[in-house]
Amino acid sequence: MTGSIPSLRTVLWRGVRRRCPQCGQGPVFRHWLAMHDHCAVCNLHYLPDQGDLWAYVVAVDRALFILPLIAMIFFRLYNPHSVWFYIFSIVLLLAFVFTMPRRNGMCLGIDYWMRRKWGDLAKDAPPPTTTGPKG
Ligand SMILES: [Zn+2]
């Protein structure tokens, strides 16, 4: 693996487009939510450990769906007798379902970005130069 670490914004955008977080070209999903094992273009192994995404999924879903609901209730916009309450609820439910692959792609991008930052993908990187004494 060569090159600099892409910015978080870049990997999030690649996730929204459901593309590989590393090269931005290979598709992440074969079907609705069935993920390819490797990128067809750069051969990145998307998820070495299954289940690595759940924490990111929880965080992203809370940021996109739960927090607006809490804000709506906090500011007393919650009115179950209004037709807008039902319209808003249906729109939110549809958005929750139909953006699922894009949110999972974003989560995969965050996972990839964290793995690059923490050096988990360093085994493919060129070896670091040693500055210590030879012995
Ligand atoms: Zn790729």
| C-alpha of residue 87 to centroid of ligand 1, in Å | 39
pLDDT at 129 over 60: no
Ligand 1 center to residue 102 CA distance, Å?
A: 16
What are the distances in angstroms from CA 68 to CA 31, 38, 52, 76, 98?
A: 30, 35, 26, 12, 18
pLDDT at 114 over 70: yes
Residue 134: is its pLDDT beyond 60? Answer: no
Task: Encode pLDDT of 66-96 as tens digits.
Answer: 887 787 777 766 666 778 778 877 888 898 8
User: Hey, how many other C-beta atoms are within 10 angstroms of the C-beta on 26?
Assistant: 19
Q: Which two tokens stand for residue 73?
A: 């209730």
Distance 27 CA to ligand 1 centre (A): 8
Instruction: Give 19 Cα–ligand 1 centroid separation in angstroms.
Output: 8
99-109 pLDDT, tens digit each: 999 999 999 99
| Residue 122 or 24, more confident | 24
Q: Ligand 1 centroid vs 56 CA: distance in angstroms? A: 20
Span from the CA of 95 to the centroid of ligand 1 (angstroms): 27
| pTM for this predicted structure | 0.75
For residue 107, report the distance from its CA to the centre of ligand 1, in Å.
Answer: 15
